[in-house]
Chain A
Amino acid sequence: MATPSRSLPRAARGRSRRERLATWGLTLAGLLAVAITLTIIALFVHGSLPFLRTVPLGEFLGGTRWAPIHEPAGYGILPLIGATLVTTGIALGVAVPLGLLAAVFLSAYAPSPVRRVLKPALELLAGVPTVVYGFFALRFVTPLLQGFIPSLGFWNGLSAGLVMGVMIIPYMASLSEDVLYAVPRSLWEGAYALGATRFEAVTRVVIPAALSGIGAAFILALTRAVGETMIVALAAGRTPTWPPDPRQPLLTLTTAIVNIATGDHEATAFIWSAVFAIGLLLFLTTLVLNTVSYLVIQRFREKYA
C-alpha cells in the first residue's frame, strides 16, 4: 500500500550488507551440518553395499540367527535388535519414572538451596564414564541379583539394563527439570488460586504444560540407551540369542559392532561391511529419534507463548 520511500535505503546500506553476510554465513553453516550428515549416511551405505548385495534384505532384517564368522554363517539381525530392545526397555523402565520424579522434586518441591546443590550434582553424575557403570553392573549388581534370581547368568541383559537406567537418570531428570522449571510462575499461581494443592498443580497443570518437553527428554534418554555400548559390552555378554531373555547373555547392536571390530579372528572385508550395515541401522534409528525429538520440542515451544 505505502509508496516506497526514496531517501531511506541509502542510509541503511551498511547494515543491510552485514545482514546479508550474516544470512549467507548462517545458511552455509546450516548446509554444512546437513552435508556432513548426508556424507556419513553415504559412507555407511557405501560401506555396507558388499554386505547388502550378498545377503538378502529379508534374511538380514528377518533372520533370527546372527553368526557372521561361523560356518554356516547367519546374518539375521533380529537377535541384536531384540537384545537392544530388552536392555533399552529395562533401562527406560528405570530411568523414566525415577528421572521424572527427581525432576518434579527438584523443580516443585525442593527448597531453592537444595535445588542449587542437587541439580549440578545430578549433572555431574552424567559425567561418570560408562565403563565404570559397566564394571559396577558386572561385579556388583549381577552377584546381588543372583541372590534373588538363581538362573541369572554371569552375563545378562537385566543388570546391564538396570545399570544403564541408572546411568540415564541424570539425563532424564536434568532435561525434564529444565522444562518443568521453565513453566511460567503464572500457571502455578493460576492453579493455586483455584484451590489446587501443590500436587494437583504439578500433576494437572505443570507436567501437562511441559509434556512435550518431557517427551523430548524421553527420546533423548531412548537414544542414549539404544546407543550405549560399554555397559552392555561388559555386563550383558556377547552371545546372540533368540528369543532374547534378560536373564541370559545378549548381544546388542552396539556390542555386535564391538565384537567384530575387536575380535581376534581374521576380519574379512565382507564382515567389515556387515559392521557398516549394523552401523547404518543404528545411525538411522538415532537420526529418526532425534528428528522426532526436535519436532516435539518445536511443538513444545508453541505451547504457552
Chain B
Amino acid sequence: MSEHVAPPVLSTRKFSLWYGSHQAVIEVDLDIAERQITAIIGPSGCGKSTLIRAFNRLNDLIPGVRTAGQILFRGEPLYGRGVDPVEVRRRIGMVFQKPNPFPKSVFENVAFGLRINGFRGDLKAKVEEALARAALLDEVKGDLHRKTGYDLSGGQQQRLCIARALAVDPEVLLMDEPCSALDPIATAKIEDLIRELASSVTVVIVTHNMQQAARVSDYTAFMLLGELVECGPTRELFTRPKDSRTEAYITGRFG
C-alpha cells in the first residue's frame, strides 16, 4: 500500500468509553484514512463494536455511557458541544452484524434515509443507484415494491442494508461484522463489494475473522481488552507485527 498524505477522516485522541463503571475502550489513538478500508480485529469483548459505534455516536443511546478524550471527524470534535448526533449519523453510515431491514418494501427500505433527510430529486433513480452500488439491483429489480426486506435471503438482506446506508451518500461506512451471519458465498460477495466501495467511501470494518481482515482491508487495527495494541498497513501487521500480543493473536495462540 502506498503512503498517504491526505489527513485522516476520523481520528481518535486518547478516546475512552465507559458503560457505567466498566471501561470498554481505553485511551485509543487511531487514525482512519480516507477511502481506505480499515479493519478492526481482536478477541470477543475487546471493545471493537463499542469503538466503531462511537464513530457514529450510536452509543449515545445507551444510558450510562460516558466518554473521555476525543474523536475528530475531519478535524472537528465529534463529541463537541453543539454537535448533533443525528447529523453525524447522516454522514457516517452503519451496517450491523445481523441484517436489520425494515419491514417495508425493498424500495422503501432504501428510500428511508432519503425521505427523512428531505431529499428532493429523482427518488427512484437514487434508490436504484444505491441498490446498484450494493450489487443488489439485478436481483430485486422486478419487485422493488412487491418484496419486503424479509423476503430476501440473508446475504441479500445485508446488501439491502448496505444499499440503505449508501443511499444517503455517507462519507464513512461503518460495518460491524457484516458477514458473520452469512454463508461463504454471500460473504465473498460482500467482501468484493466492500473493495469496490472503497473507491468512493471510507470503510471501517469490524471482524473477528482474520482472513477476512487480510483479504479486504488496507489497514488493520488490533484491539485487546479495550486497548489499541497496534495499527498499521494490513500486510505489515500480519507479516511483521510489532507487538508480541499481536503476533500471538494472529498466529492463533489465543483469542
- Which residues of A line the B interface, CB within 8 A? 111-112, 184, 186-197, 200, 204-205, 208-209, 303-305
Point out residues on B near A: beta carbons under 8 Å: 56, 58, 61, 63, 86-87, 89-90, 93-94, 96, 98, 100-104, 112-113, 115-117, 150, 161, 164-165, 168
Q: How far is the CA of A59 from the CA of B86 in the complex (A)?
A: 63
30 A-B residue pairs with Cβ-Cβ distance under 8 Å, sorted by A, are A184-B100, A186-B98, A186-B100, A187-B100, A187-B102, A189-B58, A189-B96, A189-B100, A190-B100, A190-B101, A190-B102, A192-B61, A192-B89, A193-B56, A193-B89, A193-B93, A193-B165, A194-B90, A194-B164, A195-B86, A195-B89, A195-B113, A195-B117, A196-B112, A196-B116, A205-B112, A208-B102, A303-B103, A304-B103, A305-B150
Are the C-beta atoms of B103 and A193 separated by less than 8 Å? no
Q: A187 vs B161: C-alpha distance in the bound complex, in angstroms?
A: 11
Enumerate chain B residues within 8 angstroms of A195, measured Cβ to Cβ: 86-87, 89-90, 113, 116-117, 168
Query: How many residue pairs between the two chains, A and B, have CB atoms under 8 Å in the bound complex?
Result: 70
CB distance from B173 to the nearest CB of A (A): 10
Instruction: Tell me the minimal C-beta distance from A73 to chain B in angstroms.
Output: 55
A204 and B103 form a contact (CB under 8 A):
no
Q: Which residues of B contact A303 (CB under 8 A)?
A: 103, 150
Shortest distance between the CB of A204 and any CB in chain B (Å)? 7
- In order of increasing CB-CB distance, the 3 nearest A-B pairs are A195-B90, A194-B113, A186-B100
Q: Which residues of A contact B165 (CB under 8 A)?
A: 193-194
Q: A190 near B161 (CB under 8 angstroms)?
A: yes
A244 vs chain B, min Cβ distance (A):
40
A132→B221 CA distance, assembly (Å): 67
Cβ contact within 8 Å between B104 and A191: no
| Minimum CB–CB distance for B98 against chain A, Å | 6
A184 to B98, CA, bound (A): 12
CB neighbours of A112 from chain B (8 A): 63
Determine whether the beta carbon of A186 is less than 8 Å from that of B116. Answer: no
> How far is B117's CA from A208's CA once the two chains are assembled, in angstroms?
19
> In the complex, how many angstroms separate the beta carbon of A212 from the nearest chain B beta carbon?
10
Most chain B CB inside 10 Å of its own CB: which residue of A186, A188, A189, A195: A195
Name which residue of chain B comes closest to A305, CB basis: B150
| CB <8 Å contact, B116 and A194 | yes
Q: How close is B162's CB to chain A, nearest CB, in angstroms?
A: 12
Q: Which has the most chain A C-beta neighbours within 10 Å: B87, B89, B100, B150? A: B100
Q: How far is the CA of A209 from the CA of B109 in the complex (A)?
A: 13
Which one of A111, A192, A200 has the highest number of Cβ atoms from chain B below 10 Å of its Cβ? A192
* A270, chain B: closest CB distance, angstroms: 54
Report B-chain residues with C-beta under 8 Å of the C-beta of A205: 102, 112
For the complex, what is the distance from the CA of A184 to the CA of B100, rounded to whole Å?
9
Contact status A186-B102, CB under 8 Å:
no
A203 — nearest CB in chain B belongs to which residue? B116
Residues of the B chain whose Cβ atoms lie less than 8 Å from the Cβ of A209: 102-103
Residues on the A chain within 8 Å of B86, using CB: 195-197
A93 CA to B61 CA in the complex, in Å? 34
Whether B87 lies near A186 (C-beta < 8 A) is no
Enumerate chain A residues within 8 angstroms of B98, measured Cβ to Cβ.
186
Q: For the complex, what is the distance from the CA of A125 to the CA of B117, rounded to whole Å?
A: 41
> Counting chain A CB atoms within 10 Å of each CB, which of B98, B112, B150 scores highest?
B112
> What separation, in Å, do the CA atoms of A189 and B94 have in the docked complex?
9
The complex places the Cα of A305 from the Cα of B115 at a distance, in Å, of 25
A189-B100, A190-B96 given. 8 additional CB < 8 A pairs? Answer: A186-B96, A187-B100, A190-B101, A191-B112, A193-B94, A194-B113, A195-B86, A195-B87
